[in-house]
Structure 1
Amino acid sequence: MKFGKEFASQMVPEWQEAYMNYNFLKTLLKDILNFRQRQSRSPGNQVNPRPLPSKATSLKRRGSLFRAFSGLTSRYGNKNPTKDKEDEVILVSAMHTIDEEQGEDAQSYQTIFLRSSEGGSEYEIVFFRRLDDEFNKVVNFYRAKVEEVVKDAEELNIQMDVLIALRIKVNDPAVVSPLINQRNTGHPMEVIHEEHQEKRSGDVKEFQMASLDVLNHIKINTTAETPLSALKTVFNSSKSGLHYNKNELRDAKEKLKQAFIEFHEKLRFLKNYVFLNQLAFSNIMKKYDKITSRNASDAYLKMVEESYLGQSDEVAKLIERVESAFVKHFCNGNRHQGMRTLKPNTKRKKHRVTFFVGCFFGCSLALVVAITVSVYNRGLFRSTGRTQYMDTIFPLYSLFGFLVLHMVMYAANVYYWTRFRVNYSFIFGFKPGTEMGYTEVLLLSSGLSVLTLAAVLSNLEMELDPNTKSYETLTELVPIGLVTVVLLITVCPFNIIYRANRFFLLVCFWHCICAPFYAITLPDFFLADQFTSQVQLLRNLQFYVCYYGWGDFKQRDAKTCSNSNVYDVITIVIAVIPYWIRVLQCMRRFLGGHDSTQALNALKYFSTIVAVVARTIQTQHGGVILQIIAGSTSGIATIFSTYWDIVVDWGLLRRNSENPWLRDKLILPSTSIYFIAMVLNVILRLAWMQSVLDVHEAPFLHRNALIAIIASLEIIRRGMWNFFRLENEHLNNVGKFRAVKSVPLPFSYEHDDKNM
C-alpha cells in the first residue's frame, strides 16, 4: 500500500482536517516535476544543470574522505555546521508572533528558498510556503490538544484525591492500605504517577495518609440512570451530598475508571498523531529531494525534530502515569488486565462469518425457489384459500420480512460508513471491539431469512383435515414459535450471538420506552426513528396477539380481530407510539437546554401523529370529510418531515455553501448522489400517502401485499436516511475535533472551588 493511502487509513477520522495535507503537497510536487520534464524536452529552455565541481570543491570533497565517519548514527545525515553554503537549498527559521485571539506569544516556522534565481523556482517557493502552512497547522493543533489533556489531567488528579479520601472514609481506616497524600502540587498527573514521598526511618517506611478535608468541598453527581432517580433529579437538586456508603464508592470508581479509559485513548490518539505527521513530513521531503535532485530534507527534518512537535514529551509521560495509576487503582495491580482494558485488541475479520453468510444466502435462494414451485404446482394463487392465506398467514411472516430488510439496509449502511471512514462505532458509543461489521449483520439477517422461509414452506405443505375441517395446530404454531425463538435469542444472557450488541440494543430500547426519564443520547433517538419506519411491523405484532390470543389460528380465520372495535383503537395507538416517543425525547432535550430546535422537531412528530390518526380513522370508516382531513394533515406532515430530513438531519440545501445547494463538506465523491438521494426521499415520503388516496388494493395485488410493499419502501427510505444522517453527525464531530467520548465525572465542587 502506498504511503498516502496508509497515512489516510491511520488517521483519527475526527481529526482529519488537522493532519498534514499529504495529497495536496503531492500535487505541488507534481507541478515541479511536470515543469522540469517540460524544460528537459525543450532544447532551448532547459533547466540549468548543477555546476560541475570546481578544483577547489574537488579538493574539499577529497579531503572529506579523511574525516571521522559518523553517518550511521546521524539521523539527518551531515549536521556539521561548517556545511558548504553553496549546498544549502533552504533556510528554516522560527518566528514569534502574538496570537490576537488569546493575546499569547505564538511560534511559527518559515522556510526561505535560497535557489530563487533558478528556472521554475516559483513552483518550489509555493511548495515550501504551503509546507510551512501545513507544519504550523499541525504544531498549533498539537499544542492546543496538549494543553487540553494537561487540564484534563489536573481534573483527574482532583477526582482521584476525592476517590481515595472517600475510600478511606467508607472503609475502616485501620485496614485501608497506606496511601500518601496525593495532592496535586506539581506536574499534572503527578498524583497518578504515584511518585511516593516516603519518610524513611531506618528500614521502616512511613506513609502520609490521604487528607479527608477534600470531602467537605465536593458533592457527588447523580445521573438519571433510572426513572426513579430521574424524578428525584427533577424535584430535587441534580446533585447530592456524600452519604459515605459502598454503593456510592463503587459508582464513583466505575465512572472514574471509564474516564481514565477515554483519557488514555485520547493520549494514544495524540501520540499516533505526532508519529504519523512526522512520518508524512519525512516522506514528502524525500519525494522533493528525489524530484529536484536537491538535499533539502536534512535541514527541514532537523527543524521538525527540534520543534514542539518533536521535543514535547508531555503526552508520553502522561501515558506512563495514567497506565500506572489505572493498574494500581482499578485493576488491583494486575498490569496485564489493565493494559488489556486500556488497549483493547483490534477486531479481526473472521472468515467463517463470510462463509456462513454465503451458505445462508444460498439456502435462502433455494427456499425461495422451493416456495415458488410449491405455490405454482398447487395453484395457490388461483385457489379459494388465497384470500384467507393473505389475511392470516401473510401478516405473520411479513413481520420477519420487514425485520430482515431493515437489517440488510443497516448492513449496507455499515459497509458504506466503513468505506468512507464515518466513525459509526464512536458516534453510537459501542464498546471498542464489539461493534458489528456489515458481514456480521448480514450473517444475522441471512440466518433469520433461512428460518423464516423454512417456516413459510412448512405452512404451505400443511393440508386441511377433511374430518374436523380444521388445520393442524402444531403447524399453525410455527409463526409464534419463530417469534419466541427470536425473542429468546435477543434476551439470552449467555455470551453467544453478539451479546454486547444485543444488550446495547435492549438498553436503548428501554431508554425509548422511558423516554422522558433518561438523558437522551444519539443511539436512543436513532433507534426511536427506526421504529417510526416500522409501524407496520408493530401492527403485525398486534395481530399476533389477537390471532393467537383469541384462538383464531385454529380455524385460520381473523374475524375476531377484524370485527373488533377495540382492535381498531389499538391499531391507532400502536401507530402513534413511535412518534410519541420521539415527541417526548425532543421535549426532554429541549427542556435540558441542549438544543432549542428540538421544540420544532417535537412539533414535526406531533404533526405526523395527527396525520397517522386521521389516515387510520379514514381507512377504517371512510368518508369524504375524513379523507379531506387525512389528506391535508398528511400533506403538512410530509412537507414538514421532508424539509427536516434534508435541511436539518442531512444538513443539505445550503445556498451559500462551497458545494451549491449541498453543504461545505461532503464525504461521497460525487455530488450527484446527494441530489438523487433528496429526490428519492421526497418520492418515498409520498408513498405512505397511498392510504389517503384510497388506493387500498391493486387489481393484481391483495391489500396486505400492497401494504407490505409500501412498508418496505419506507424501510428503504429509512436506510438511506440513516447513512446521510450519520454522515452529517460525523462531520459535526470532525468540525469540533471530537474523537473521544465525554464521560461525566463523579464529583463536583461547591461554588466551583477547585483549590481545596
Structure 2
Amino acid sequence: MKFGKELKSQMVPEWSEAYMDYEFLKTLLKDISHFQERNRPAASSLGNTNPPGLTRKLTLYRAFSGLTQRAMSPRSPRSHDIESQPILVNSVKRSNGEEGFETRFLMVGDAGGEYELVFFKRLDDEFNKVVKFYKAKVGEVMKEADVLNKQMDALIAFRIKVDNPKHVVFESQVEMSRLAAAVEASSEATVLTASASTAMRASRKVAHMDVIDEDKSNSGVRSDDISSDDKDSEGSRKPRGLTVRPPPLEILERVTINKPIETPRSTIKGVLNVPVQTDLKFTKENLNKVEEQLKSAFTEFYHRLRLLKSFNFMNMLAFSKILKKYDKITSRNASKSYLKMVDNSYLGSSDEVTKLMERVEVAFVKHFSNSNRKKGLSTLRPTAKRQRHRVTASLGFFAGCTVSLIVALILIIRARKILDKSGRHQYMNTMFPLYSLFAFIVLHMVMYAGNIYFWRRYRVNYPFIFGFNQRTALGYREVLLLASGLAVLATSCVLANLDMEMDPKTGNYKAITELLPLGLLILVVVIVIIPFNVIYRSSRYFFLTCIFHCICAPLYKVVLSDFFLADQFTSQVQAFRSLEFYICYYSSGDYKRRENDCNKSDVFNTFNFIVAAIPFTWRLLQCLRRFFEEKDNWQGLNGLKYFATIVAVTTRTAYSRSHSNGWKAVAWIASIVAAVSSTYWDLVLDWGLLDRKSKNRWLRDKLIIPHKSVYFIAMVLNVLLRLAWLQTVLDFKVSFLHRQTLITIVASLEIIRRGIWNFFRLENEHLNNVGKYRAFKSVPLPFNYDENEDEDDE
C-alpha cells in the first residue's frame, strides 16, 4: 500500500484537516519533476544510448562501489558543510505571536528553484499547523489528567470509608510525622527530576497499608512506584511498598457527588424542583457506581492518548517520506537538516503522551483490574473487531435460500393458479398485512446495511457518532446476515402457509395455519429480548435501550442515537399499523375463520389514528425536551414540523375512512404544509445543502462523495419519494395490484427514502465533528471537586 493511502486509512477522521496535507505536497513535487523533465538537456538523453559496438549499458562499466558502505573522505565533494546545504531552518516569531519554523531555501537561483521555494513554504505551513494542533491537544489532555488525579484521590478515600479497613493502624506519632513529611515531599516533587524523586522514595521505609502510592510527576499525573524487577507470576507488577501515604480522607470534605445518570425519576424530580441529593453516602452500591464511571473515564482518556500518539507518529512519518521524495527528485540532501529540526521540535521531542499512557496503564491495572495486567490492558487496548469468514459464508447461504424461496413461492402461485381462486381477496386482506410487517423490517435492515457500507467507504465515523462500542459494533455483513435470516424465516412461513392451505389433509385446520405469522413474530421478539449472550447481545441491548428512551421521550436527555431511531420509526408507520392488526386479528378470534372484521371495529379505527401518530409524537416530545433544555429555537421549529406531520397523517387517515370532500381538502392542505417543511428541513438543516453561497453551488463547502451529481440526485429522490402520500389523497387504483399490495409499495418507498436520508444526515454530522475536531465523547465524572476551597487554602 502506498503511504498516501496508508496515511488516509490511519487518520483520525475528525482530525483529517490537522494532518499534513501529504497529497498536496506530492503535487508540488510532481511540478518540480515535470519542470526538470521539460528542461532536461538533450545531451543527457543521448548519453543513455550505448556507443556503437557496446551491447551493455554504460553503467555496467563503472567502478564497483562495494557491498558495504564506505566512509567518505573528509575532502569528498559530498561532505555536508553549512555552505553546501540547500536549506536553512530557523525558529521564528510568526505574525500571530506564536513560535514557528521557517525554511530558507538557498538554491533559488537554480533552474526551477521557484518551484522548490513554493514547496518548502507550504511544507513549513503544514509543519507549523501540525505542531500547533498537537501542542493544543496535549495541553488539553494534561488538564484532563489533573482532573482525573483529583477524581482518583476522592475514589480511594471513598473506598476506604466504605471498606473501613480497621487493620490499618499507624504504630506511633513518629510514624505519622514521617508519613506527613512524605506527603509534603511528594507535593514538592513536581519540580524535581524523576531520578531525584526516586531517590527520595527509596529513602523512606514504611511498611504499612498501601493506600495511594502514585507519586506526582512533572506531567501532573500520579504514577505508581513500581520496580521493573518486582513482578508476580502472572506478569503483574508489584508495588514496592516504600511510598505509602496516609489516606487523603480530608478530600471528601471538598467533594460532592455529581448529578446522577438521568432517569425518568430524576427528570420528574427536576421538573418538580425536588433538590438533588449530592451528599456522599458511603455504601457499596455507590462505590460500584463510582468505580464504573471512573473506569469508563480512564478508558476514554487512554483512547485519546492513543489517538494523539498515532497522530504524532503518522505525521512524523509523513514528513520523513515527503522529504525523501524531494531528495530523490531534486538530487539534493535537504531531508537531513529538516528532519533534524522536526526531531528537535515539540512534535518530535515531547514525550508527555507516552509517559502519560504508561502511568494510566499502571493506575488502571492497579485500581480497576486488581493488579491483573493482562485483564487491565485488554480493557484499555480494545482489539479491532475481526471479520469472520463464517459470517460471510452464512450470509451467502441465507441470501441464496431467500432467493430460492421467493422463486419457489412465485412458481407455486403460478402453477396452482392461486391468483384466480375466489379466496384471494380474503387472503390478501388477512394474511398479506401480517407478513408485510417482516418485509418492512427486512427492507429497513438492508438499507441500514447499505448505509454502513458507504459510511465506512467514505470514512464517516458512525460508531463514534452513535456511541457504539468499537468492539461490538455491527458491520454491514452482520446486518445483512440478520436481514437474510429473517427473510428466510418469513418466506418459509409463507410457503408453509400456502402448502397447508392447499393440502386437503390440512386445509380444514385454518386455525393452525393462521398461527404461523404470530409464531414467527413471537420468535423474533424473543430473539430481540433474550438475555443470553447470543446473536449480538450488546447490539440488541443498545437497540432496546434506545427504544425505551424513545417511548419515554421527554423523560430522558435526548442524544443522537435516540432521535435517529425515532426518525426511523416515523418511516415505519405501516409497520405499526400491522402490529395493531396483529393484536386485533388474533385477540378477536378472527383467525379461526380467516375473516377480517377489524375495519368494522370503532376501537380499531380509533387506534388506527393513534398508532400512525405515535412515532411522530415521540419526535415531537424529543424536540420539546431539547427546546426547553438547550434553549434552541430551531428545536421548537422542528417540533412544529412534526406536529404538522401528525396533522397530515391523521387527516389523510380520516379521508381514507370517509372519502368526504371536506376531509380531502384538509388532507391536501395539511399534507402540502408537512411535505414542504419536512423537505426543506431534510435538505437544508439535516443535510446542510442548498447553500447558494457555498463554493460547491447549492451544496455545501465540504463534500465526502467526490461526485456532486450524487447530491442532486439524492435531493430529487427525496422530494419525489416524499410525495408518496399522494396515493392516499388521490386514491390511486392500479387494476393489476391489490389495494394491500399498493399500500405496501408506498410504505416501502418511504423506507427507501429514509435509507437515503440516513447517509447524508450522518455525513453532515460527521463533517460538523470534523470542523470542530470533535473525536471524543464526554464521559461524566462521579465527583464534583470544590475548587474554591483550594484557592482559599492557597
TM-score > 0.5, shorter chain as reference: yes
Change (3 A) 1:175 1:225: farther
Report if aligned partners of 2:89, 2:101 keep a CA contact under 8 Å in 1: yes
Answer yes or no: is the 8 Å Cα contact 1:39–1:45 preserved in 2.
Answer: no
**Residue 23 (structure 2) aligns with:** 23
Could you tell me which residue of structure 1 aligns to residue 442 of structure 2? Answer: 404
Tell me if structure 2 keeps the 8 A contact 1:615–1:691.
yes
2:293 to 232, 245, 255: 255
Alignment of 1:504-515 (within 5 A): 504-515=542-553
After TM superposition, give the deviation of residue 248 of structure 1 in Å: 1.6
Do residues 583 (structure 1) and 620 (structure 2) align? yes
Residue in 2 aligned with 1:87?
84
For the residue of structure 1 that corresponds to 2:763, the secondary structure is helix
Q: CA deviation at 1:693?
A: 1.9
Do the aligned partners of residues 338 and 751 (structure 1) sit closer, same or farther apart at CA in structure 2, a change above 3 Å counting?
A: closer
Counterpart secondary structure, 1:95: strand
Residue 85 of structure 1: how far off its partner (Å): 3.9
Residue 127 of structure 1 is aligned with which of 112, 116, 119? Answer: 119
Q: Name whichever of 107-116 and 33-42 sits farther off.
A: 33-42
Q: Which residue of 1 aligns with 2:680?
A: 643
Percent of aligned pairs sharing the same letter: 54
Secondary structure of the equivalent of 1:744? coil
Q: CA–CA distance in 1 between the matches of 2:389 and 2:363?
A: 39
Deviation of the 1:187 alpha carbon = 3.1
Return closer, same or farther for 1:90/1:719 CA change in 2, 3 Å cut-off: same
* Contact kept? 2:656, 2:728, Cα under 8 Å: yes
Look up the SS of the partner of 1:110 in the other structure: strand
Residue 532 of structure 1 corresponds to 570
SS at match of 1:463: helix
Instruction: State the distance in 1 between where 2:156 and 2:225 align.
Output: 13
Residue type of the alignment partner of 1:408: V
Distance in structure 1 (CA, Å) of the matches to 2:225 and 2:751 = 55
Distance of aligned partners of 1:534 and 1:335 in 2 relative to their CA distance in 1, 3 Å threshold: same
Query: Which amino acid in the other structure matches residue 30 of structure 2?
Result: K
2:56 maps to none
CA distance in 2, matches of 1:661, 1:238: 49
1:556 and 2:594 aligned: yes
The reply on whether 1:438 has 2:476 as its aligned counterpart is yes
Q: Does 1:478 align with 2:516?
A: yes
Deviation at 1:471, TM superposition (A): 4.0
Match of 2:759 in 1: 723
TM-align CA RMSD: 2.5
1:191 pairs, out of 208, 222, 235, with 222
* Worse-superposed segment, 180-189 or 680-689: 180-189
User: What secondary structure, in the 3-state scheme, does the structure 2 residue paired with 1:241 have?
Assistant: coil
Residue in structure 2 matching 1:488, options 501, 526, 543? 526
Equivalent in the alignment of 1:221: 258
Distance of aligned partners of 1:751 and 1:274 in 2 relative to their CA distance in 1, 3 Å threshold: closer
**Residues 1:701 and 2:737 are matched in the alignment:** yes
160, 166, 179: which one aligns with 1:174: 166
| 1:694-749 residue CA offsets vs partner (Å, 9 max, x unmatched) | 22x32211111111000000000000000000001111111111111110111113
The aligned amino acid for 1:704 is: Q
Q: Which residue of 2 aligns with 1:8?
A: 8
Q: CA deviation at 1:205?
A: 5.5
* Cα distance in 2 between the residues matched to 1:445 and 1:714: 18
Residue of structure 1 equivalent to 2:132: 140
In structure 2, C-alpha distance between the alignment counterparts of 1:388 and 1:316, rounded to whole Å? 71
Question: Which one-letter code corresponds to 1:483 in the other structure?
Answer: L
Inter-partner Cα distance in structure 1 for 2:484 and 2:503:
34
Provide the rounded CA distance (Å) in 2 between the counterparts of 1:16 and 1:295: 30
Contact 1:93 1:110 in 2 (8 A): yes
Given that 1:180 and 1:208 are in contact with CA atoms closer than 8 Å, whether structure 2 keeps it comes out as yes
List per-residue Cα deviations over 1:594-625 (Å, max 9, x = no partner).
74311111111111111111111111122101
Deviations 1:471-491, CA, capped at 9 Å, x for gaps: 432221110110111111111
Q: Given that residues 224 and 519 in structure 1 are in contact (C-alpha distance below 8 angstroms), is that contact kept between their aligned partners in structure 2?
A: no
Q: Distance in 1 between matches of 2:140 and 2:734?
A: 63
Matching of residues 236-275 of structure 1 within 5 Å: 236-237=274-275, 240-275=278-313
Q: 1:193 to 1:372 in 2, by over 3 A?
A: same
Deviation at 1:688, TM superposition (A): 2.1
Deviation of 1:42 after TM superposition, in Å, equals 6.4
Q: Cα distance, 1:212 vs. partner?
A: 1.8
Q: Which amino acid aligns with 1:393?
A: M
Per-residue CA distance 1:366-424 (angstroms, 9 max, x = gap): 11111111101111222211111110000011000000000000000000000000011
Matches of 2:643 and 2:43, distance apart in 1: 76
The answer as to whether partners of 2:623 and 2:639 remain within 8 angstroms in 1 is: yes
Aligned residue in 1 for 2:396: 358
1:190 CA drift (Å): 3.1
Structure 2 residue aligned with 1:596: 633
Name stretches of at least 5 consecutive residues in structure 1 with no aligned partner: 47-62, 70-77, 101-105, 197-202
Q: Deviation per CA, 1:134-167, whole angstroms, max 9, x where unpaired? A: 0000000000000000000001111111111111
Partner of 2:149: 157
- Asked whether the equivalents of residues 210 and 241 of structure 2 are also in contact (C-alpha less than 8 Å), the reply is no
Match of 1:712 among 748, 752, 766: 748
Check 1:552–1:89 CA distance in 2 against 1; reply closer, same or farther (3 A cut).
same
- Aligned 8 A contact 1:219 1:239 in 2: no
CA contact (8 A) 2:156 2:211 kept: no
* Whole-angstrom CA distance in 1 between matches of 2:523 and 2:14: 40
Query: Partners in 1 of 2:261 and 2:109 — Cα distance?
Result: 70
8 Å CA contact retained: 1:154, 1:184:
no
**Residue 461 of structure 1 corresponds to which residue in structure 2?**
499
| 1:306 equivalent among 344, 352, 364 | 344
Q: Which residue identity does 1:118 align to in structure 2?
A: D
Give the equivalent residue in structure 2 for 1:661: 698
Per-residue CA shift, 1:162-189, capped at 9, x if unaligned?
1111112222142579345679965344
* Cα distance in structure 1, aligned partners of 2:167 and 2:651: 69
Aligned partners of 2:212, 2:703: CA distance in 1, in Å?
A: 52
Structure 1 residues 479 and 753 mapped into 2: Cα distance closer, same or farther (>3 Å)?
A: farther
**Equivalent-residue separation in structure 2 for 1:419 and 1:468 (angstroms):** 51
Q: What are the ranges of 5 or more consecutive residues in structure 2 without an aligned counterpart?
A: 47-69, 169-207, 228-239
Find the counterpart in structure 1 of residue 201 from structure 2. Answer: none
- Which deviates further from its counterpart, 573-582 or 164-173? 164-173
Tell me the SS of whatever aligns to 1:659: coil
> Following TM superposition, by how much is the alpha carbon of 1:465 offset from its aligned partner in structure 2, in angstroms?
8.9
Relative to structure 1, is the Cα distance of residues 175 and 492 closer, same or farther in structure 2, using a 3 angstrom cutoff?
farther
**Per-residue displacement from partner, 1:634-660 (whole Å, max 9, x unpaired)?**
110110110000111111111211211
Determine helix, strand or coil for the equivalent of 1:546: helix
1:623 corresponds to:
660
Is the counterpart of residue 428 in structure 1 residue 420 in structure 2? Answer: no
Give the secondary structure class of the aligned counterpart of 2:104.
Answer: strand
Q: Which amino acid aligns with 1:710?
A: V
TM-score by length of 1: 0.91
The one-letter code sitting in structure 2 at the alignment partner of 1:377 is A
* In structure 2, C-alpha distance between the alignment counterparts of 1:179 and 1:624, rounded to whole Å: 83
- Closer/same/farther in 2, CA of residues 64 and 523 from structure 1, 3 Å limit: closer
Q: Is the 8 A contact 2:364 2:376 kept in 1?
A: yes
Q: Give the partner amino acid of 2:665.
A: I
CA contact (8 A) 1:89 1:295 kept: yes
Q: Which residue of 2 aligns with 1:72?
A: none
CA distance in 2, matches of 1:469, 1:115: 94
The offset of 1:129, in angstroms, is 0.4
Cα distance in 2 for partners of 1:557, 1:387 equals 11
For 2:381 and 2:216, locate their aligned partners in 1 and report how far apart those are by CA, in whole Å. 29
Contact 2:217 2:223 in 1 (8 A): no
Q: Tell me the residue number matched to 2:487.
A: 449
Distance 1:41 1:377, change over 3 A: farther
Deviates more, 1:605-614 or 1:174-183: 174-183
Is the 2:216–2:223 Cα contact (8 Å) retained in structure 1? no
